[in-house]
A and B are shown apart, each in its own frame.
Chain A
Amino acid sequence: MLDRAQVLHVARLARLALDEDEVQRMTQELSKVLDHIEKIRELDLHGVPPTSHVVDVTGSLRSDEPTPSLPPEAAIAEAPEPVQTPAGGGFGVPSPGQPQ
């Protein structure tokens, strides 16, 4: 019920590179799981509101008071490609092809 093209599309959305083996296995496994899960669509859920939050809490806002930030060295401590510029440190990446 899930075909190869859909699997490749979803893998792209999720930024996962799948080799051919994985594409085939994933297609099978996901189809099997979805077949089982599909059954909930047979339920009569007309007029039932979806649960977006299981706790009955509302509000939970934070006051606009500053709290200490991480020292910049700590912020980039785990960076795979730390970059030093005249102004300070940053996270290096390959340039995206096109502006967002």
Chain B
Amino acid sequence: MSDEASAYEPVIGLEIHVQLRTRTKMFCGCQVSFGDPPNTHTCPTCLGLPGALPVANERAFHFGLMIGLALGSEIAPRSLFHRKNYFYPDNPKGYQISQYDIPLCRGGHLGDVRIHRVHLEEDAAKLNHIGHSGRIHGADRSWVDFNRCGTPLVEIVTEPDLRSAEHAREWLTDLRETLRQLGVSDVNMEEGSLRCDANVSVRPRGSEELGTKTELKNMNSFRFLERGVRAEIERQISLVEAGESVIQQTLHFDPSTGDLTPLRSKEEAHDYRYFPEPDLVPVLASEEMLAAARADLPAELPRQRARRFEQELGLSPGRARELAFRVELADYFEAALAAVGQGNGAGGPDPVELANWIPLLVERIGSAADPAQSKVAPASLATLAGMVAARDVSRDAAREVLAKLAAEGGDPREIVEREGLGTLSGEGSELAVIVAKAIQSNPDAAEQVRAGNMRAIGPLVGYVMRETRGRAEGGEVTRLIRERLGLA
């Protein structure tokens, strides 16, 4: 049973970790890296050697402030670091330096999802599994690479405002695009610079209370995130429908099977014993720092652009979001709009019409491609959209023109001319001839239409469309057939 049809609604919150694009680590001057030979970017501080001390990276703060401003969060005037204490081989000090009750930012939102908090912390080392030691009673072996250890992270936690697995994936895509445009991170899930855990619960539709939530970890692609969340929603709904309760636990996603495996819930209940980090002093978010962060924000962030598309250009919220959160599409769209005013078509299309053509273009060139790199010049798309609006070419024919443009480039008017794809107008004799033929070839249908059964007109219209290779405009064909049959 699909989520929407169930009597229960999913409630999802996300916990996102973003690796920052600083040159050096959060608390030491070692370079941030990916894929370099192991343990070649370490020092006493990020190795957790005795006597080493942390010193915070000012650029990481700068990026943290930019993220807070972009999300409309409240920035803490005075921020504290805390020690989060636990033992694990990828955690060399036996504590991670993070933020606890005085995080860098609180509140904010992106689209319809509220942000709970944003804070700074350091990344753990990388643990690599080797396998069995070969000794009879020996444990399996792993080894640790500390290159990643200490990389600056921003953790973003949302309120549980998401309502479906698809919603979660879409929203995360929007967040990713925002962060990418800020230039603060590579936000690449495959490389680990963007990581996302999900908290999932279900409740009866209409209820305001929250159900027991489970935590899903290790979903390292957008596809896996959606799959994992969907699987967990289904699992929870089955449980509660059967009258059973959901146990609070952490579930680990296995990408090879798509299964969610529970970790031993009791053992994993950590007491982190947070206390303020004595080796670091409080950081004040001064007016200077805030001004510098504001100055580095792009002129218009995706959500601001989406709002402008909606309010000033009249695009639907869905279409506005679709374009604004992919900068290549939005840039192309605006270039096309600008080209319209340069004597391209008679009056030009309205933005809503033009915006509808972008997804069609994306279909043609592939969703990963940048339309600006394609053979379809923005002016060409604008011209084509204008021609459709002016009925110089039918919608179907225009799709063919687009295919040609994508393959060879060029000017749409030329292509229409060359391929003979122009709309057959009702005034021309060519169309009249084909309409006559249609009626002749389908006498039964024609008879039924004359008798008043409008549904029988289908085959007649179809005939004309086929004969004209879609160049006639459907509504116009229907009118001509009716006229020919003597109907009003």
A residues adjacent to B (C-beta < 8 A) = 13, 15, 52-53, 55, 57-67, 69-70, 72, 75-76, 83, 85, 87-96, 98-100
Taken together as a complex, chains A and B put the C-alpha atoms of A12 and B176 apart, in Å, by 40
Residue of B nearest to A62 (CB): B55
- Dominant secondary structure of chain B at its interface with chain A: loop
Would A90 and B24 count as touching, CB distance under 8 A?
no
Would A15 and B87 count as touching, CB distance under 8 A?
yes
Does B146 touch A at the CB level, under 8 Å?
Answer: yes
CB contact between B276 and one of A53, A64, A69 (< 8 Å): that residue: A53
Distance (Å) between the CB of A74 and the closest chain B CB? 9
Does B420 touch A at the CB level, under 8 Å?
Answer: no
Does B80 touch A at the CB level, under 8 Å?
Answer: yes
Does B89 touch A at the CB level, under 8 Å?
Answer: yes
CB contact between B141 and one of A52, A55, A63, A92 (< 8 Å): that residue: A92
Does B212 touch A at the CB level, under 8 Å?
Answer: no
23 pairs across A/B with beta carbons < 8 Å? A13-B273, A52-B80, A53-B281, A58-B281, A60-B55, A61-B56, A64-B23, A64-B24, A65-B23, A66-B24, A69-B40, A70-B47, A72-B39, A72-B40, A83-B130, A91-B39, A91-B146, A92-B141, A94-B142, A95-B130, A96-B142, A98-B267, A99-B217
Q: Please, how many residues of chain B have a CB less than 8 angstroms from a CB on the other chain?
A: 57
- Dominant secondary structure of chain A at its interface with chain B: loop
Among A72, A83, A93, max chain B CB count under 10 A is at: A93
Distance (Å) between the CB of B116 and the closest chain A CB? 22
Would A72 and B37 count as touching, CB distance under 8 A?
yes
* Across-interface contacts of A83 in B (CB, < 8 A): 130, 141, 143
Knowing A52-B276, A87-B37, A96-B89, the reply to whether A61 touches B43 (Cβ < 8 A) is: no
Knowing A62-B55, A64-B23, A69-B30, the reply to whether A90 touches B273 (Cβ < 8 A) is: no
Taken together as a complex, chains A and B put the C-alpha atoms of A98 and B280 apart, in Å, by 32
Would A62 and B57 count as touching, CB distance under 8 A?
yes
Does B258 touch A at the CB level, under 8 Å?
Answer: no
Taken together as a complex, chains A and B put the C-alpha atoms of A85 and B142 apart, in Å, by 11
Does B468 touch A at the CB level, under 8 Å?
Answer: no
* Across-interface contacts of A96 in B (CB, < 8 A): 88-89, 127, 142
| B278-313 interface code vs A (CB 8 A; 1 in, 0 out) | 101111100000000000000000000000000000
CB contact between B47 and one of A59, A75, A88 (< 8 Å): that residue: A75
Residue of B nearest to A82 (CB): B143
* Across-interface contacts of B278 in A (CB, < 8 A): 52-53
Among A13, A58, A65, A66, max chain B CB count under 10 A is at: A66
* Across-interface contacts of B268 in A (CB, < 8 A): 98
* Across-interface contacts of A89 in B (CB, < 8 A): 38-39
Among A57, A58, A96, max chain B CB count under 10 A is at: A96
Would A90 and B283 count as touching, CB distance under 8 A?
no
Taken together as a complex, chains A and B put the C-alpha atoms of A85 and B28 apart, in Å, by 26
Would B30 and A67 count as touching, CB distance under 8 A?
yes
* Across-interface contacts of A13 in B (CB, < 8 A): 271, 273
